[in-house]
Amino acid sequence: MSKVRTGIFFSAADKYATQALAVATMAIMSRLLTPAETGLYLVANGLILLADQFRAFGVGVYIVQERELDRNAVRAGFTVTFAISLAIGAAVWASADLVAAFYGDPALARLLVIAALAFAVIPFGSPVIALLQRELAFGMVARINVTAAVAGFVVTVGLGLAGFGPDSYLWGFVATSATLAVMAFAVRPETWIYRPSLRRARRVLSFGITSSAVTLINVAYDMLPRLAFGKMLGFDAVGLYSRALTVCQLPDRMIGSALQPVMLPAMAAEARAQGDLKASYLHGHALMSAAQWPALVLLALLADPVVRILLGNQWGEAVPLVRIVAMANMALAPAFMTFPLLVSLGRIRDALTASLISLPPSAAITIFAANFGLTAVAASLFVTAPFQMLVALYFIRRVIGLTWGELLRASGASAAVTAATAACPVLVILLSADGLALGWGGTALALGGAALGWVAAVMLLDHPLRRELCVIADMAAGVLSRRRAARAPQA
């Protein structure tokens, strides 16, 4: 448990730093690019993300969860990933003009050609990151990821300020990929990893096909608004809706993404030790919901000032979308644990089945709603998000013996924490002449009251999150103390 907490601590530091850079990039670039230019980039980015998920082929997940890992398995993983990466990079390059013609914008071809360059270097960092995650060496993973994110930030913003437009994002992607590969090799310069081998390739391919199918289906669903709306509604709509989704995903990225890299290695280790995964699942849900639910409710209440701060005044049409999406996303609090739990138990086919059951109907509902505008698309999440979570819980309950009563009990204290967090912002809004469009003073008062309400509820209710926060605070204090002690002799 100590290793898991240490992993969460470093993973959180990693994700907070990289997400802070991502938010800063979004805030700066949203003021430099129009919604249409942003939408153009997001369509290109959606296509690249789909290609990149297939490129990964589940090799990193395979390395993390494999019970008996040897050098041949790692080398086979690199060989498979490298071959697929080169093939996909070449395919992206060759098809760029056709894709641009489909969307009716020649500039899209240039973006895809730039992004294709990254596929030549990405495979050199992937196996090292997976090995470090398997060993729960999240401090080193954090250093690599943050360094790569800084490189991407500098290149993206620098080129954006220089007038390169949407191209800036793609050159930033290339810089991030190259830096990650160089850093990974510098941290672990073990050349045997990169010697081609097919001795364990059959097992890697067998796992990779299923894992890639799960990931591709989920990523394709996430990219649906970018890819479909770019054709149906235009790049303006892509920019508005995608930025609204990005703002609403900030709580998940700041909280869930810090836990996500730790979940699979931790659950895989617990499964190998035949531990109690049901208790771990309920504990994880209690922690996530106590952080995510209050953040989403607060985001819905303060959508207007949040959008103005993060995106600028030209994005006012995204405000109502943010309110709707934030409330709908509350249904997905336990979602971040579904894939690692099923994979750690050797039930990756259940993860694929769950995705095949829930995501195609959800995609059909989203496309149908698009005929009635972006507000209808956002509102459709109140149907699709609970449906997806119910399907996932069906498989989860079956493999770990989870009951609805246990899940409700794990959620009760978090619901109370959410209510306490929202109390002051609701009061400020009701008493303000501006209503939901709070000024800076009202926003600051609402945020301060929300923070006090959250802390008071977590402490008074003795929520499980309280103990975890105390442990993490002690760990942080210990790290600072050791650093001071290390400097003392030099002084």
Higher pLDDT among residues 3 and 428, named by residue:
428
What is the residue type of 277?
Answer: L
Higher pLDDT among residues 65 and 177, named by residue:
177
Query: How much of the chain is in helix, strand and coil states, percent to nearest 5?
Result: 85, 0, 15
| 80-to-67, 177, 179 alpha-carbon distances in Å | 20, 18, 22
Query: What average pLDDT does the structure give for the chain?
Result: 83
Q: In whole angstroms, what is the distance from residue 482 CA to residue 34 CA?
A: 48
Least confident residue range of 69-73, 103-107, 369-373, 420-424: 69-73
The Cβ-side half-sphere exposure at 133, using a 13 Å CA radius, reads 29
Residue 439 has pLDDT above 90, yes or no: no
Distance of CA 385 to the CA centre of its chain: 16
| 331-to-125, 289, 328, 395, 400 alpha-carbon distances in Å | 35, 10, 6, 17, 21
Domain range annotation of the chain: 33-233, 249-476
Helical segments of 273-318, H only: 277-301, 303-310
Least confident residue range of 97-101, 208-212, 250-254: 208-212
Helical segments of 57-193, H only: 59-65, 71-103, 107-116, 126-134, 138-161, 167-187
The whole-number pLDDT of residue 313 equals: 80
Higher pLDDT among residues 425 and 138, named by residue:
425
Q: In whole angstroms, what is the distance from residue 5 CA to residue 113 CA?
A: 41
Mean pLDDT, residues 104-111 taken together: 90
Residue 261 has pLDDT above 60, yes or no: no
Q: Strand, helix or coil at 139?
A: helix
What is the end-to-end Cα distance of the chain in Å, rounded?
36
The whole-number pLDDT of residue 75 equals: 87
Task: Assign 167 a pLDDT band (cuts: 50, 70, 90).
Answer: very high
pLDDT digits (tens, 9 = 90+) for 291-337: 889 999 999 999 999 888 888 887 888 899 999 999 999 988 878 77
Which residue's structure tokens are 């364990």? 200
Which letter does DSSP use for residue 105 in this model?
A: -
The whole-number pLDDT of residue 90 equals: 92
Distance of CA 11 to the CA centre of its chain: 13
Task: Assign 172 a pLDDT band (cuts: 50, 70, 90).
Answer: very high
The whole-number pLDDT of residue 218 equals: 77
Higher pLDDT among residues 437 and 427, named by residue:
427
The whole-number pLDDT of residue 78 equals: 86
Is the Cβ–Cβ distance between 66 and 73 less than 8 Å? yes
Helical segments of 33-68, H only: 35-56, 59-65
The whole-number pLDDT of residue 9 equals: 66
Mean pLDDT, residues 247-273 taken together: 67
**What percent of the chain shows pLDDT beyond 70?**
87
The Cβ-side half-sphere exposure at 140, using a 13 Å CA radius, reads 17
| 234-to-26, 35, 224, 231, 374 alpha-carbon distances in Å | 21, 10, 13, 6, 12
Supply the DSSP string of 168-221, one letter for each residue. HHHHHHHHHHHHHHHHHHHH---GGGGS---TTHHHHHHHHHHHHHHHHHHHHH
Kindly state the helix (H) or strand (E) to which residue 19 belongs, with its residue range.
helix 2-32
Mean pLDDT, residues 345-369 taken together: 88
Task: Assign 241 a pLDDT band (cuts: 50, 70, 90).
Answer: confident
Cβ burial of 210 (10 Å; 0-12, 13-18, 19+) is middle
Is the Cβ–Cβ distance between 211 and 61 less than 8 Å? yes
Higher pLDDT among residues 113 and 123, named by residue:
113
The whole-number pLDDT of residue 386 equals: 94
Q: In whole angstroms, what is the distance from residue 334 CA to residue 123 CA?
A: 31
Mean pLDDT, residues 85-96 taken together: 91
* Rounded CA Rg of the chain: 23
The whole-number pLDDT of residue 383 equals: 95
pLDDT digits (tens, 9 = 90+) for 192-204: 888 888 887 777 7
What is the residue type of 451?
Answer: A
Mean pLDDT, residues 455-477 taken together: 79
Is the Cβ–Cβ distance between 421 and 298 less than 8 Å? yes
Closest C-alpha to 9, from 195, 148, 142: 142
Task: Assign 486 a pLDDT band (cuts: 50, 70, 90).
Answer: low
Is the Cβ–Cβ distance between 169 and 41 less than 8 Å? yes
pLDDT digits (tens, 9 = 90+) for 28-66: 998 888 888 888 888 888 888 878 877 776 777 777 777
Sign of the Cα pseudo-torsion (126, 128, 131, 137, in order): negative
**What percent of the chain shows pLDDT beyond 90?**
27
Least confident residue range of 61-65, 225-229, 270-274, 463-467: 270-274
Mean pLDDT, residues 20-30 taken together: 88
Task: Assign 491 a pLDDT band (cuts: 50, 70, 90).
Answer: very low
Residue 366 has pLDDT above 50, yes or no: yes
Is the Cβ–Cβ distance between 64 and 268 less than 8 Å? yes
